[in-house]
Amino acid sequence: MFRFLLKRLIVGIVTLWVVTVVVFGIFTIIPGDPALVYAGKDPSAEVLAGIRAKLGVDKPLPEQYATFMKGVAVGRDFPTGPKMVHCDAPCLGYSYKKDVPVLGLITRALPITATMAAGAALLWLLGGVSVGVLSALRRGTFFDRIAMTISLAGVSLPVYFTGLIGLSVFVYQLQWLPAIDTNSPFGNPFDPVQTFQSFILPWVVLAFLYAASYARLTRTSMLETMSEDYIRTARAKGLPERTVVTRHGMRAALTPIVTMFGLDLGALLGGAILTEYTFGLQGLGKQALDAINKFDYPLIMGTTLFAAFFIIVANIVVDVLYAFIDPRVRLS
Amino acid sequence: MTDRSATMAAGSAPATADAHRRPLLEVKDLRVHFPTEDGLVKAVDGLDFTVAKGRTLGIVGESGSGKSVTSLAILGLHKRTRAQLSGEVLLDGVDIIGAAEETVRRLRGNKMAMIFQDPLSSMHPYYTVGAQIIEAYRVHNNVSKRAARARAIEMLSLVGIPQPDRRVDDYPHQFSGGMRQRAMIAMGMSCNPGLLIADEPTTALDVTVQAQILELMKKLQREFDSALIIITHDLCVVAEVADDILVMYAGRAVEHGPVADLFRRPEHPYTWGLLSSMPRLDRVREDRLRPIKGTPPSLINPPPGCRFHPRCPYAQRLGEICWTVEPELLEGPNDHSTRCHLGPVKAREVFVAEVEPLL
């Protein structure tokens, strides 16, 4: 088990390293000159070259990469205009547009994305799985048909549609919820009621989208499992039907759900662009989109690396969980 | 109908003290029908047999003859919403068909147990072999986990698994095929059921292991004095272990009798077909395998008259009666009954003259 864990960790670290090389390479090669940000109007070639030298972007690519990685490890200084700005380790770069280290921007946006993702994940996991299991057990009944029809709608309706409907109905028409304070959705100081009011719509809208596919996957997986030979064996032992369904059926049927859940949550933590944009939440996704619009390459790069980090961590967690769930994985 | 099953019940036991025992399992006019979109599938259509304690019944037939459906009906494992059951299945006097779901559940695994064909897919991959035996034992016995674990180790040792105290914590995939089937048997026998049904218990196993498993089942049956039903398509399997044989075709019994008599004097053309479809290596290659021609009949619209007549090489000789009148299962000497228009005398003539020389 320990060796398995170690192996997964090493693979994860190597993957993350490859991601840094690729991401760094892409964002350094593509056109766009950071020197332009600091230069005045119509700068001369000499001025630009001078700024480039100061920023260190005139160096060969491998050297720039080494500097970047050194920054991640021990931090580095950025000569921004008049003064030097120190960027603490792990330094993911410096946003020349916003004139702050990238990591600070990310950690400021992360709580919003994380709150949104965690709440939605809880909702869709509970909702999707229970609807899926019930549908499978009551296959062909009215409940099953209604649930599957709604879930079909869930997978097909985009967040910017359901989200806007939600906003229009609950915020503007019924006025059950106040408009989201996009500058401080958590309240200032932190206020649980305001947090709940800010996030309930994004949670439900995002959860609806995911719960739909979880319900369908759970239903399929459960139907398949319940027709397995070992379910017949469990019944032949004389176990009560509830035990057969939970201990024998769900235990096996939910294994693929764990994988999907881990990966979905990991991906969401990197930012849910559509949902954040729809509700105006300043999460990682919206920040990345703004960065793209403003050609803020260091911020895009930092966010991309951060998202990749979450996905890789989620992968490792899923693999380890899988090994706990399925003994065949653990031992082979 | 009742008369027939009564005589068969008495007949399947030898003339010893056993003969006075009431059979543990009595199946009377069992019918299992499945309504489908294409029509009513009559998987089992009027089946009678009995098994006494300490006796072994072999049920033989092709796929789709209703063997497995019968066994699931005995265990009460058919979904009542999907299957229409009628007739009686009496286990120690309790009617399984009419009993409440909960009553049958309490009997299942406790008074009657089942062993399935493929031990790998029949065991839960996520639980240890021990945990699965413990679960089977504890559901019917109110004992501590520790006591149940001791029971599991005892059962594993009884079925001949080496180092049972260590293997009890292994997962099914860590066992070999034969060991898994032993573990399944240990699980089935853990509550000491009076009736054990083995559905193709050796089909998924290596030939070398098959005999060991059969031997083990015989040994345990003697030890626990249980009634055993072995379901198989392989006559060789039942020839070794069964006391009586029931040959099924299209949901009905076509021949039923004591094993020795049935092998020496088989009377039904379908049984002859089964006997001659065993490969013979001492013949020239083209002649080694003589399969029964044709395919099993539709269970929605079974052939009129004798259900075997479209595949029966002798149907032409008797003429019309074979495809117009369904033969009765008639009792002959030695408790040997057959469902065929040939009748015992003519069947014997045909068998001796035409079938036996080719076997």
Q: Residue B16 pLDDT more than 80?
A: no
- Given pLDDT bands bounded at 50, 70 and 90, which one contains residue A95? confident
Residue B174 pLDDT:
93
* Interatomic CA distance for residues A131 and A23, integer angstroms: 40
CATH code for the domain in which residue A216 is found: 1.10.3720.10
Domain shared by A148 and A54, yes or no = no
A288 lies in some domain: yes
pLDDT for the residue numbered B287: 67
Based on the fold, state whether residues A72 and A165 are members of the same structural domain: no
Minimal-distance CA residue of chain B relative to A241 = B105
Tens of pLDDT along B129-186?
Answer: 999 999 999 999 999 999 999 999 999 999 999 999 999 999 999 999 899 999 999 9
Is a pLDDT exceeding 60 seen at residue B86?
Answer: yes
pLDDT above 70: residue A86: yes
At B5 the pLDDT is: 42
pLDDT at position B11, please?
Answer: 41
With respect to residue A161, please indicate whether it lies within any of the assigned structural domains.
Answer: yes
Of the partner residues B118, B121, B136, the one whose CB lies closest to the CB of residue A237: B136
- Give the integer Cα–Cα distance in Å for B292 and B222: 36
Taking 80 as the threshold, does the pLDDT of residue B108 lie above it? Answer: yes
pLDDT, position B10: 42
- A128 and A272 in a single domain? The answer is yes
Give mean pLDDT, residues A231-247. 95
Q: Are residues A54 and A170 in the same domain?
A: no
Size of interface A-B (CB pairs under 8 A): 71
Number of domains in chain A: 2
Minimum distance, in Å, between the CA of residue B46 and any CA atom of chain A = 24
Would A13 be classed as within a structural domain? no
Please say if the pLDDT value at position A326 is more than 90.
no
Selection from A126-130, B22-26, B343-347 with the highest mean pLDDT: A126-130
Determine the distance in angstroms separating the CA of B186 from the nearest CA of chain A, rounded to an integer.
Answer: 12
Which tokens go with A256?
């693929």
Cα A303 to Cα A37: distance, rounded to the nearest angstrom: 20
Asked if residue B351 lies in contact with residue B269, where contact means CB atoms within 8 angstroms, the answer is no
Q: Is residue A83 part of a domain?
A: yes
Output the pLDDT for position A81. Answer: 65
- Answer yes or no: do B135 and A229 touch at CB < 8 A: no
Residue A88 lies in a domain: yes
Beta carbons of B174 and A232 less than 8 Å apart: no
- Of B135, B171, B174, Cβ closest to residue A237: B135
What is the domain class of B2-124+192-255 according to CATH? Answer: alpha beta
Check A326 against B126: CB less than 8 A apart: yes
Q: For B94, which DSSP code?
A: E
The structure tokens 């619009």 sit at A293
How does pLDDT run across B236-291, given as a tens digit for each residue? Answer: 888 888 999 999 999 999 999 999 999 989 999 999 988 887 776 677 766 666 77
| Cβ within 8 Å, pair B125-A236 | no
Q: Rg of chain A over CA atoms, in angstroms? A: 24
Q: CA A176: distance to chain centroid?
A: 29
Task: Please provide the average confidence, as pLDDT, over all residues in chain B.
Answer: 88
CB contact under 8 A, B75 and A233: no
Can you tell me the mean pLDDT for B212-240?
90
Optimal mutation site among B81, B124, B127, interface A, most CBs of chain A within 10 A: B124
Same domain? A232 vs A307: yes
Across the interface, whether the CB atoms of A232 and B121 are under 8 A apart is answered no
Amino acid at B224: F
Sign of CA dihedral B292, B293, B296, B300: negative
According to DSSP, residue A189 is labeled: T
A229: nearest CB among B75, B116, B128: B116
Name A26's Cβ contacts closer than 8 Å, sequence gap at least 6: none
CB contact under 8 A, B171 and A331: yes
Rounded Cα distance, B167 and B147, in Å: 17
The minimal CB distance from B124 to the residues A235, A236, A248 is found for A248
Query: Hey, are the CB atoms on B125 and A326 less than 8 Å from each other?
Result: yes
- B13 pLDDT higher than 50: no
Give, in order, the Cα–Cα distances in Å from A10 to each of A4, A89, A306, B2: 10, 22, 18, 73
- Tell me, what's the pLDDT at A332? 54
Q: Do A238 and B118 touch (CB under 8 A)?
A: no
Task: For tokens 């919820």, name the residue.
Answer: A177
Same domain, A266 and A205: yes
Q: Are residues A144 and A207 in the same domain?
A: yes
For residues A76 and A217, state if they share a domain. no
Q: Does A164 fall in a domain? A: yes
- pLDDT-wise least confident of A74-78, A260-264, A288-292, B24-28: A74-78
Q: Is A75 exposed, middle or buried (CB count within 10 Å of its CB: 0-12, 13-18, 19+)? A: middle
Domain span at residue A166 reads 103-331
- What are the b/e assignments for B164-180, b being 16+ CB within 10 Å? beebbebbbeebeebbb
What pLDDT, on a 0 to 100 scale, did the predictor assign at position A331?
60
pLDDT score recorded for residue B6: 41
Residues of B with CB under 8 A from a CB of A: 75, 77, 105-110, 113-114, 116, 118, 121-126, 128, 135-136, 139-140, 171, 173-174, 184, 187
| Residue A240 phi, psi dihedral angles, 5° rounding | -65, 150
On average, the pLDDT of chain A sits at 88
Same domain for A91 and A108?
Answer: no
The number of helix segments (H) and strand segments (E) in chain A equals 16, 4
Q: Are residues A82 and A182 in the same domain?
A: no
Q: Quick check: A331 and B123 CB within 8 A?
A: no
A29 occurs within a structural domain: no
Would you say residue A151 has pLDDT above 60? Answer: yes
* pLDDT, tens digit (0-9, with 9 covering 90-100), for A153-205: 888 999 999 999 999 999 889 888 888 888 888 887 888 888 898 899 999 99
Yes or no, beta carbons of A252 and B126 under 8 Å apart:
yes
Better-predicted residue by pLDDT, B339 or B315: B339
- Say whether both A216 and A285 belong to one domain: yes
Find the closest chain B residue to A232 by CA distance: B122
Tens of pLDDT, residues B45-57: 999 999 999 999 9
Q: What residues of chain A lie within 8 A of the CB of B141, using their CB?
A: none
Is the pLDDT confidence value at B341 over 70? yes
% of chain B residues with pLDDT over 70 = 91
What ipTM did this prediction achieve? 0.86
Note whether A8 and A319 are within 8 A (CB).
yes
Let me know: does A139 contact A224? Beta carbons within 8 Å: no
Q: What is the mean pLDDT of residues A132-153?
A: 93
Nearest to B185 by CA among B200, B201, B173: B201
A205-222 tens-digit pLDDT: 999 999 999 999 999 999
Q: Are residues A195 and A53 in the same domain?
A: no
B118/A230 touch (CB, cutoff 8 Å), yes or no: no
What's the confidence (pLDDT) of residue B124? 95
**Domain residues of chain B, as ranges?**
2-124+192-255, 125-191, 263-358
- pLDDT exceeding 70 applies to what percent of chain A? 99
Confidence of residue A40 (pLDDT cuts 50, 70, 90): confident
